[in-house]
Amino acid sequence: MRGPSAARPPPSRSPAGGPRLTSVAPGPSAALFTEDLFATGNDDDNRAAVLGAAAEDLTLAGVAVHGPGSDVDQALKGLRPHP
């Protein structure tokens, strides 16, 4: 028998109507932004530029962190913002 804590909510839908992808890991999620993502004027070309480069050739331009405010605050505690 499964208890209430084992029940899963039904999948939510994205604003576009497709399934919304959610993380199975607890805590905040992160995304990395490289300089190549900003090299062209459109998203498709940006993605192609990143996919065509070796990982060691990519230059980090930024990091995005998403999650509950208290979790994000704890993850970033002690870091200095860029001057």
Least confident range from 20-24, 25-29, 42-46: namely: 20-24
Q: Where are the domains of the chain?
A: 28-77
- Residue 9: per-residue pLDDT: 53
Whole-number mean pLDDT of the chain? 74
- Residue 1: per-residue pLDDT: 46
CA atoms of 26 and 28, how far apart (whole Å):
7
pLDDT class of 32 with cuts at 50, 70, 90: confident
pLDDT class of 36 with cuts at 50, 70, 90: confident
pTM for the model stands at: 0.50
